[in-house]
Chains A and B, each alone.
Chain A
């Protein structure tokens, strides 16, 4: 068996990775909670955001954590425009069409990236990328520790927006009862777009937290999408606490199954959870009945 130190290290690492997964899943679940569709363009948007963070560092010399302050608003605007100008009008209010449109967008975004930047994998070199913090029995990488804290900061900000602002109130109203919200004078198309923008901004921040220790290529987002989908299903579609807890849980599961089964089969562990949750409890741990 493995010594407790190795196990604890694996669990801690899993939690650090899981936090970023949670942030990606948070964007997905937010959009699902309000628009009631799965955004299949989520992975492609993550790839795009990783490229943005990469070039912000390379061309502008911006530190990824600072770049988040720039990239997140840009991606919010991008997400807003996508929903307002393309997804909304194109799908004529039909859920199946909306799914297809997000799939179409994902294909376009991913392949525009491929066309522009080729399939090369890129990384950035940061002086602190490999610095660690000594816990006495193990070491933890500092960039991922920062990422972990920032994810919870973002979740807190999101919570504050949802609970403390008028926009948040409107979003919750639309999520609960679209027609009623519309009758009360809420611009549903605008709220949809705001929500999509917020979800996209989550992805942008996740990209900035990933880039110091990760790589970027046009299809990198795909690797996260299946994981994010699993988290969202596990935590319950549309549930924000579900996404956070689910993300951490999946991070730990991936880390442990990687430890016990080896790297390439680590992903299978995630998938088994995915199937099991769908069959036993499709509404997830925190979800209400669909």
Chain B
């Protein structure tokens, strides 16, 4: 109950933001932040709770983005349906990659490598295939109607992505409460031991991969609806893979709110770097890379872990004193 209450409070506070903030720039910043948080939450399910570090989550983000765009532009499918199809196909791609890699027993370095390779190949294919618009990319027509899942006001877009983030928070919170989630965490902590206790590790990892891919694909679908454009670099480029893993690692991998917190910090740092040094190519990624290394060095459990550690250090002595009284 406490977990659900926390989520409700956080989402309610975030939902109230557009009522106070009118600036389009700020809302745009928040929409992108939530988008990254959603992609990161997807990574968090597999990487944070399951310990399988994917370096290629762009594969799912890009699938969602492209499917949403292509179904609308080339097949005239309704935007809402295209959005749903993007999530389903993203999950399917996750299922295929997961089935291939986990069945082959690939872990650690191997898994990271293969996930990266799959994203790269999708990028190469998307940059030459005619159906994706090849090098030019795919442009979705501006059509500001609710049926087309496009909105005049940024606030509405903000609430849509917030709703998706809320769902992803609930999924993560459920993981901490269900048998499946416990199995997944057991696999992360010690796969061989988990197997010895009768956990079907391959199946559990595969399940996590599908959920994870679906969530990250949803972020891709939203990207298409919000920016109305997708190309192979945006969809399957390494940048998205990196942002998806960066946010949970910085916020706290394997925690419900880690990706959300991480996304806020990462986006704020990226914007900060722009303010300080001007908008130069590569700058924000330099900052991201440095932050990644620094967090691993000084806060291996992310910012949430850091706060917990500090809290415990501060709180413990007082508890002991209380016990003496």
Contacts and interface: CB of A to CB of B under 8 A. Distances in A.
- A and B interact physically: yes
A36 B109 contact: yes
A88 to B, nearest CB: 11
A282 interface: yes
B282 A101 contact: no
Contacts of A233: 110, 113
A271 B296 contact: no
Contact of A111 (B106, B112, B285): B285
A104 B289 contact: yes
Interface string A260-277: 000011011001001100
Contact of B292 (A103, A230, A271): A103
Contacts of B101: 278
Contacts of B124: 264, 267-268
Contacts of A40: 55, 112, 116
A123 B109 CA distance: 34
A112 B120 CA distance: 22
Given A105-B293, A282-B110, A115 B249 contact: no
Interface string A218-239: 1000100010011001000100
Chain A interface mostly:
helix
A96 interface: yes
A230 B121 CA distance: 12
Nearest to A95: B108
B114 A278 contact: yes
A118 interface: yes
A38 B27 CA distance: 40
B300 interface: yes
B167 interface: no
Contact of B289 (A89, A105, A282): A105
B209 to A, nearest CB: 16
B296 A104 contact: yes
A272 B101 CA distance: 14
Interface in A101-134: 101, 103-108, 110-115, 118-119
A108 B290 contact: yes
A262 to B, nearest CB: 10
Contacts of B300: 92, 94, 97
A65 interface: no
Interface in B39-98: 51, 53, 55
Interface in A77-96: 86, 89-92, 94-96
B105, B106, B108, most chain A CB atoms within 10 A: B108
A107 B294 CA distance: 14
A164 B292 CA distance: 39
Contacts of B104: 278-279, 282
Contact of A104 (B51, B53, B281, B293): B293
Nearest to A267: B124
A90 B117 contact: no
Contacts of B21: none
Interface in A244-268: 264-265, 267-268
A100 B128 contact: no
B20 interface: no
A274 B117 contact: yes
A47 B106 CA distance: 29
B242 A107 contact: yes
B196 interface: no
The 3 closest A-B pairs by CB, nearest first: A114-B282, A107-B289, A111-B282
12 contacts: A38-B112, A86-B293, A90-B297, A99-B108, A108-B286, A108-B293, A112-B282, A115-B281, A218-B282, A229-B117, A271-B121, A278-B106
Given A37-B109, A97-B296, A274-B117, 18 more contacts: A36-B109, A90-B296, A99-B55, A100-B53, A100-B292, A101-B292, A103-B242, A104-B293, A108-B290, A111-B286, A115-B281, A115-B283, A222-B238, A226-B120, A267-B124, A271-B121, A278-B114, A282-B105
